[in-house]
Structure formats: structure tokens, C-alpha cells
Amino acid sequence: MLKGISPIVSPELLKALCEMGHGDELVIADGNFPGESVGKNAVVIRADGHGTLEILDAVLSLIPLDRYVEKPVAYMEVVKGDSCPEPEIWKAYEKILNKYEPEHHGVEMIERFEFYERAKKAYLIIATGETAIYANILLKKGVVSG
């Protein structure tokens, strides 16, 4: 354990976050996301037993979002025709995003299969045990400045 770092951030996750550079993307995936097949070219880290909210909070406590793009955050949009309302978890994401990035965290909505394609190019996929649907979130890492 380290001081100031959430205990849910495993050494493996901390290493992957450190390896990421400016503009690299990561996906915090819900329990239904096909992380292993989509992440064949990515670092895939299991975070079973943790939800996307606590992982998002822990990750954003360590890395900034990219300030050089309009929308450094993306959600998998609800599939057209799906009867579910806008996911409640998105409101919780907004609170966490405001906590760490109050000035800049534009959110892009991405169609399901486009989200998968973009996730294939991500550096890191964190596979959580999140049970909420449409809880996948993609982040573009920014520059850490002194």
C-alpha cells in the first residue's frame, strides 16, 4: 500500500496508468463488456468486485484528462430501440468528473459497435464487476504538469 493512493488501485493498475502517455485512452468497463476479446492489443486488468464508480474515482485521482480535445470522455450510448431510460450511473459519473476535472470534461456519446472499435485501440481496459448497464466509460489521458 502507498499513502495517498486508493487501496483499490492494484500495483498492476498503477503501473499501467504510469505507462500511459498523453492522448492514450483507457476504458473502465462494466461486467458485460467483452474486455478480453476487445482488448487483445491492450493491457487488460481485472477489477472484479469493484464497480465503475469507485474505479473512475480512483483513476481520476491519479491522472488528468486531455485538455487539448473537446471531449476527453466517452460513454457507450443506449442502443436505439432499447427500452431503458438514460442510465442513472451517468449522473454519478458527472459528479466524479466534476470533482476532478470541473473545467474540462466534455462527454461524447458513441454507438455501441463504434465504442468497441475505439476500445480496441485503447492502451488499457479495466474490467470491473459493475452490474449497471451502459456503464462503460472511455477516458483520454492528459498531461501531468507541475
CATH code (residue 130): 3.40.1650.10
Nearest-angstrom CA–CA distance, 35 and 44: 7
Q: One-letter amino acid identity for 80? A: K
Whether 118 is in a domain gets the answer: yes
The CA-based angle 65-69-70, given to 5 degrees, is: 100
What's residue 116's pLDDT? 98
Whether 4 is in a domain gets the answer: no
Active site members: 22, 66, 116
What's residue 137's pLDDT? 98
pLDDT along the chain (146 residues), means of 10: 91 97 98 96 97 98 96 96 91 97 92 98 98 97 89
Q: How many domains does the chain have?
A: 1
What's residue 103's pLDDT? 86
What's residue 105's pLDDT? 83
Whether 145 is in a domain gets the answer: no
Global confidence as pTM: 0.96
What's residue 84's pLDDT? 85
